[in-house]
Amino acid sequence: MQIRSQLNRLIQRACERANILVDRVQVNEASKVAFGDYQFNGAMALAKSLKKKPRDIAQSIVDAIEDNDILEYVEIAGPGFINLHLSNNWLSTNIKNIVQDRRLGIVAKENPSKVVVDYSGPNMAKQMHVGHLRSTIIGDSLANLFTFLGDDVIRQNHIGDWGTQFGMLIAYLEELGEGGEGSLKDLEEFYKRAKQRFDEDENFANKSREYVVKLQGGDVRCLHLWENFIDKSLSHCEDVYSKLNIKLSREDVKAESSYNDDLANIVNDLEAKGLLKESQGAKVVFIEAEENPLIIQKSDGGFLYATTDLAAIRFRASKLGANRISYVVDARQAEHFKQIFSVAKMAGYVSEDVKLEHVSFGMMLDKSGRPFKTRDGGTVKLIDLLEEAVERAKGAISKRDSYEQEELEKVAEIIGIGAVKYSDLSINRESNYIFDWDKMLSLEGNTSLYQQYAYARIRSIFRKYNGKLEGDVILEEPQERLLALKLLQLEDTLYSSAKEAMPHYITSYLYELSTLFMKFYETCPILREDTPENIRQSRLILAQITANTLRLALDILGIKVLERI
Ligand code: ARG
């Protein structure tokens, strides 16, 4: 149920009927219960241009609201706020309608978009690090969300598998010979050793350089070594994906190297369009109002990260037919994407109506505010981090003793991984993110465990009660009404989260929902004997939909729930 857009339309029409010109009416959720359920505060802003008192304007709008079944009553408050109170009847009918619906009444978009979500994108010549962790978690949840709302989603894992480092890595792989395979198990060690060989041994360094050239020239043996190396490193990433419950597969990998053959075409095309200029021997594109040009080809003929991204954006718009391309990449690449987007539009690789967005995110910091590193300053291995999450989760489960060992592992996995993902998703992605084990595994506050507990609590009610759910939804107690309204706000939340690519709108919603449920649960007895049957039924329906909502929204975020904790 998209409540907000219904109210927007209602007020918009009222303004038209009252001959008040408003560009786009925007109602908001009321900030306090006393202000109703929603508010329209536009009258104050209109006062100046209309040369009328805001209260009078508000009155004319209110008088012009047509008959409807969504509003119970409307009141004007203060200088001219319009407070909108939804009808209980409307709320309970709509709640009743979704109790059996797996999609909770949320209809897929009428005009779906084709959306490319570019996320994860680890570099194969380096250990996958915490920056990629954030991209992977945020990107995957957005891809899930877009899919749920009906978009045609294409996941793209733009892995870094090309560049001069690979000469060194394959030279080292070759040197190790048959036994080399085993040493790829610990990639971090492997990079370190290869680099060491490169720095110490002139012959090895020369060979590495030679291999870069051979690789670029398509030498079969070098290509073979390289493919083998990429395959193994990708499997390491896939271990992380599977542990994290991330839906990226090999089919989603569209590596940097896959654009190699197109890079010269990009240069020629930009040249033909008169966009290419020479600057200090390099070929560049100057962008209006930007100080630095975008370098397309270096003076030695080499291509850059940016050249590949231009080829990729052209491929995505023209071959994949994307209307929206979301790059989930850390904030330090903001300038890069700004330039790519500008040049892509200048060159006509994407039409004006395609939405290009850099879904940027801040750094992952430790509790003292420093970049997240191991104790000795090295990169944290993601797989170790995830294993630690599972270990720590065991400590967070209160009734640990009541589990069989095997079940405890399963439960801890769901709680630990859920905590890592949820805590990342629950802050505004633009800000830096402080990674704090204690906070993310806490039972209190906006954590995944809090949501999972709320879910498990409801499931326990339905283990005691397994009769039918029938009858009307009765909203007499304030807690019942607040819960019902919150449940019906899921659709608005999902749509605005998708529109702005902000997953934390969903986690905030979940936190409010669970908190409201807990209050409802304390004040409105469900299974107690003295609860009249019709009230019990109504409350069971509310509880059931709360559980369904928690499960659905967490599932979109890629987080699992448990029947009991
Ligand atoms: N491999 C890049 C990095 O690690 C991320 C790729 C992002 N996607 C893109 N189309 N540039 O920084």
Position 178 pLDDT exceeds 70: no
Selection from 519, 499, 513 nearest residue 553 by Cα? 513
pLDDT higher at 177 or 155: 155
Q: Average pLDDT in the 169-176 region?
A: 91
So what's the pLDDT on residue 255? 98
Residue 189's pLDDT band (boundaries 50, 70, 90)? confident
Residue 129's pLDDT band (boundaries 50, 70, 90)? confident
Distance in Å, CA 138 to ligand 1 centroid: 14
**Any atom of ligand 1 within 6 Å of the Cβ of 36:** no
So what's the pLDDT on residue 562? 96
Ligand 1 closest atom vs CA 159: 1
Give the mean pLDDT of the chain: 94
So what's the pLDDT on residue 179? 64
So what's the pLDDT on residue 86? 98
Q: Whose CA is nearest to atom 8 of ligand 1?
A: 158
For the chain, residues classed under CATH 3.30.1360.70 are 3-86
So what's the pLDDT on residue 423? 97
**Any atom of ligand 1 within 6 Å of the Cβ of 312:** yes
Q: Average pLDDT in the 346-366 region?
A: 97
Selection from 462, 361, 347, 453 nearest residue 398 by Cα? 453
Q: Average pLDDT in the 400-407 region?
A: 84
Position 557 pLDDT exceeds 70: yes
Q: Whose CA is nearest to atom 9 of ligand 1?
A: 158
What percentage of residues in the chain have a pLDDT greater than 70? Answer: 99
Distance in Å, CA 390 to ligand 1 centroid: 28
So what's the pLDDT on residue 92? 97
So what's the pLDDT on residue 527? 96
Q: What is the DSSP string of 402-454?
A: GS-HHHHHHHHHHHHHHHHHHHHHTS-TTS-EE--HHHHT-SSSS-HHHHHHH
Contacts of 149 (CB under 8 A, 6+ apart): 106, 108, 109, 494, 495, 498
Q: Average pLDDT in the 407-413 region?
A: 94
Q: For residue range 44-55, what is the model confidence (pLDDT) as tens digits?
A: 988 888 899 999
Q: What is the pTM of this model?
A: 0.95
Residues in the chain: 565
Position 180 pLDDT exceeds 80: no
Secondary structure (3-state) at 114: strand
Could you give the C-alpha distances from 403 to 107, 132, 368, 410, in angstroms and in order? 40, 34, 35, 10
Rounded-to-integer distance, Cα 173 and Cα 516, Å: 58
Ligand 1 closest atom vs CA 329: 7
Distance in Å, CA 527 to ligand 1 centroid: 54
Q: For residue range 8-30, what is the model confidence (pLDDT) as tens digits?
A: 999 999 999 999 989 899 999 99
Position 40 pLDDT exceeds 90: yes
Residue spans of beta strands (DSSP E) within 266-409: 276-279, 282-285, 294-297, 324-327, 355-358, 364-365
Q: For residue range 435-476, what is the model confidence (pLDDT) as tens digits?
A: 999 999 999 999 999 999 999 999 999 999 988 899 999 999
Q: For residue range 535-546, what is the model confidence (pLDDT) as tens digits?
A: 999 999 999 999
So what's the pLDDT on residue 151? 98
Lowest mean pLDDT segment, chosen from 116-130, 242-256, 512-526: 116-130
Q: Average pLDDT in the 325-331 region?
A: 97
Rounded-to-integer distance, Cα 380 and Cα 130, Å: 7
**Any atom of ligand 1 within 6 Å of the Cβ of 254:** no
What percentage of residues in the chain have a pLDDT greater than 90? Answer: 86
Q: Average pLDDT in the 321-340 region?
A: 97
Taking domain 114-160+253-359, whether its CATH number is 3.40.50.620 is answered by yes
For the chain, residues classed under CATH 3.40.50.620 are 114-160+253-359
Q: For residue range 216-226, what is the model confidence (pLDDT) as tens digits?
A: 999 999 999 99
Distance in Å, CA 423 to ligand 1 centroid: 23
**Any atom of ligand 1 within 6 Å of the Cβ of 158:** yes
**Any atom of ligand 1 within 6 Å of the Cβ of 139:** no
Q: Whose CA is nearest to atom 11 of ligand 1?
A: 309
Distance in Å, CA 328 to ligand 1 centroid: 9
Position 145 pLDDT exceeds 80: yes
Give the pair of three-digit tokens for residue 443.
């039972």
Q: Average pLDDT in the 506-534 region?
A: 97
- Give the CATH architecture of domain 3-86: 2-Layer Sandwich (3.30)
Q: Write the single-letter amino acid at 330.
A: D
Residue 399's pLDDT band (boundaries 50, 70, 90)? confident
Q: Whose CA is nearest to atom 6 of ligand 1?
A: 121
So what's the pLDDT on residue 131? 80
So what's the pLDDT on residue 538? 97
Residue 128's pLDDT band (boundaries 50, 70, 90)? confident
**Any atom of ligand 1 within 6 Å of the Cβ of 84:** no
Position 139 pLDDT exceeds 80: yes
